[in-house]
Chain A
Amino acid sequence: MGSSVTVRSLRKVFGNLVAVDGVSFDVAEGEIFALLGPNGAGKTTTIRCLLGLLSCEGEAEILGGRPGDPLIMERVGYMPQAPAVYHNLTVRENLEFFAEIYGVPRRRLDERVRDVTALLGLEEHLDRLVGKLSGGLVRRVSLAAALIHEPRLLVLDEPTAGVDPRLRARFWSHFYRLAEEGVTIILSTHYMDEAAKAHRVAVIHRGRLAAVDSPRRLVEETGSSSLEEAFLKLTGGAEP
Chain B
Amino acid sequence: MIRAVLIRVLRELKHDRRALALAFIAPLIVVLAFGESFRGGVSDVPVALVDMDRGVAGKKLSELVVGRLKNDSTVRLLVVENLEEGLDRLRGGEVWAVIYFPPGFTESVLRGNASLILYLDASNPAVSDAVVASARAALAGAAAARGFKQPLALTVEPVYGAGATYLEVFVSGVVSFAVFVLSTLLTLLSFVKERVMGTLERLKASPLRVWEIMGGYSVAFSVLGSLQAAIILGAAQVFYGLEIRGNPFDALLVVILLAIAGVNLGIALSALARTESQAVLTLPIVTIPTFLLSGVFWPLEAMPPYMRTVSRMLPATYAVDALRSVVLRGWGLGNIAADLAALAGFIAVFMTLGVIMLGRKE
Interface residues in chain A, defined as those with a beta carbon under 8 Å from any beta carbon in chain B: 14, 51-55, 70-71, 73-74, 76, 78, 80-87, 98, 101-103, 145, 155
B203 and A101 form a contact (CB under 8 A)? yes
Contacts of B205 in A (CB 8 A): 51-53, 73, 76, 78, 80, 155
Could you say which of A83, A84, A87, A102 contacts B207, with CB atoms under 8 Å apart? A102
Most-contacted residue by chain B among A87, A101, A145 (CB, 10 A): A101
Q: Mark B198-210, 1 if CB is under 8 A from A, else 0.
A: 1101111111110
* A54 near B361: Cβ-Cβ < 8 Å: yes
Choice from A70, A71, A80 contacting B201 with Cβ under 8 Å: A80
Question: Does B4 touch A at the CB level, under 8 Å?
Answer: no
Determine if B362 is an interface residue (Cβ-Cβ < 8 Å): yes
Interface residues in B296-314 by Cβ distance below 8 A to A read none
Q: CA A187 – CA B301 in complex, angstroms?
A: 63
* Chain A: minimal CB distance from B187 (Å): 15
Number of A-B residue pairs having CB atoms within 8 Å of each other in the complex: 55
Nearest Cβ on chain A to B288's Cβ, whole angstroms: 29
Between A and B, 13 residue pairs with Cβ closer than 8 Å are A53-B205, A54-B361, A54-B362, A55-B361, A70-B208, A73-B205, A73-B207, A80-B198, A84-B197, A84-B201, A98-B206, A101-B207, A102-B207
Residues of A within 8 A of B203 (CB): 101
Bound Cα distance from A132 to B34, whole angstroms: 44
Beyond A73-B207, A74-B207, A87-B197, is A80–B362 a contact (Cβ under 8 Å)?
no
The answer on a CB contact under 8 Å between B201 and A83 is no
Residues of B near A84 (CB, < 8 A) are: 197-199, 201-202
Residues in chain A near residue B202, CB distance under 8 A: 78, 80, 84, 98, 145
Task: Kindly report which residue of chain A lies nearest to residue B362, judged by CB atoms.
Answer: A54
Which residues of chain B come closer than 8 Å to A70, judged between CB atoms? 207-209
Inter-chain contacts of A103 with B (CB < 8 A)? 207
Residue of A nearest to B206 (CB): A101
Chain B residue contacts of A102, Cβ below 8 A: 206-207
Chain B residues with Cβ below 8 Å from A78 are: 202, 205-206
Which parts of B101-147 form the interface with A (CB within 8 Å)? none
Closest-by-CB residue of B relative to A78 is B205
Closest CB in chain B relative to A165 CB, distance in Å: 25
Q: Contact at B207–A81, with CB atoms within 8 Å?
A: no
A76-B205, A102-B206 known; A83-B361 Cβ under 8 A: no
Complex Cα–Cα for A71 and B207 (A):
7
Cα–Cα, bound, A130→B109 (Å): 81
Complex CA–CA separation, A86 to B200 (angstroms)? 10
CA distance A2 to B247 in the complex (A): 64
Complex: how many Å from CA A73 to CA B199?
Answer: 15
Considering the chains assembled together, what is the distance between the CA atoms of A87 and B201 in angstroms?
A: 15
Tell me the smallest distance from the CB of A61 to a CB of chain B, in Å. Answer: 16
- The 10 A-B residue pairs whose C-beta atoms are closest, nearest first, are A82-B198, A84-B198, A70-B207, A74-B207, A78-B205, A55-B361, A84-B202, A51-B205, A73-B207, A80-B198
The verdict on A55 contacting B197 (CB below 8 Å), with A70-B207, A71-B207, A78-B202 known, is no
Query: Inside 8 A of A73's CB, which chain B residues have their CB?
Result: 205-207
